[in-house]
Structure 1
Amino acid sequence: MADTLQVELSPETIKSIAKCVVDLISKKEETAIGFDSDGNEKQYTIKEVVAKTKKGRLTLYSHIKKGFLVASKTGKSFLISHSNLQKYLNNE
């Protein structure tokens, strides 16, 4: 037979635990839909978009130049927001 442990928790402790669980679930859902844990929209590099779309790097650069894929240039790199990637994928 397995040993069991019984613990009595105050209502305040239960509420505190429940709030922590809800916060964790909310953060996980935000991350799952394109937001990081700080609530900022996820940004993808060209390399990440290549992996997600199975398109070539040069094709993606061409689509950015033609306006099919909206990206922001930071230095020598491009970043594609989650929402812009979704729009691009939905228009294929």
Structure 2
Amino acid sequence: MALKVEVDLSDEQLKKIAEYISTFGLLPDLSSKGKPLDEQFMTVKQVAHFTDQSTQTVINHIKQGLLKSNKIGKSHRISRQALKDYTHGE
């Protein structure tokens, strides 16, 4: 069963939706398509959103060794493999 929904959005509403999609990386990253999970990376903010945790909790779990990350400057990058291991308790 198909459901068709039409919504009229203002330019401002469309801009907010686009910013949300961009911020949380909800569009597929075509540059990483086909790469192994350990070569695809997410930000702390993306992991927090995906796991429904705060960014501080994600950072604390990195510091405690519960979640593996690569530190680039002051930022952490988490591989999708590390996220998979983390969510499966490995």
TM range (shorter): 0.5 to 0.7
The offset of 1:38, in angstroms, is 5.8
| Equivalence for 2:65 | 67
Give the 3-state SS of the residue equivalent to 1:50 in structure 2. Answer: helix
The offset of 1:74, in angstroms, is 0.1
Instruction: Name the structure with the higher helix share.
Output: 1
Aligned equivalents of 1:53, 1:38: Cα separation in 2: 23
The offset of 1:67, in angstroms, is 0.2
| Equivalence for 2:42 | 44
The offset of 1:42, in angstroms, is 1.1
The offset of 1:45, in angstroms, is 0.2
What is the total number of aligned residue pairs between the two structures? 59
- TM-score, normalised to structure 1, is 0.57
The offset of 1:36, in angstroms, is 1.4
Residue type of the alignment partner of 1:49: V
Task: Show structure 1 runs of 4+ deviating over 4 A.
Answer: none
The offset of 1:37, in angstroms, is 2.6
CA RMSD of aligned residues (A): 2.2
- TM-score, normalised to structure 2, is 0.58
Aligned equivalents of 2:34, 2:85: Cα separation in 1: 23
Q: Deviations over 1:35-61 (max 9, x none)?
A: 913625210000110110001111111
Unaligned residue ranges in structure 1 (runs of 5+): 1-30
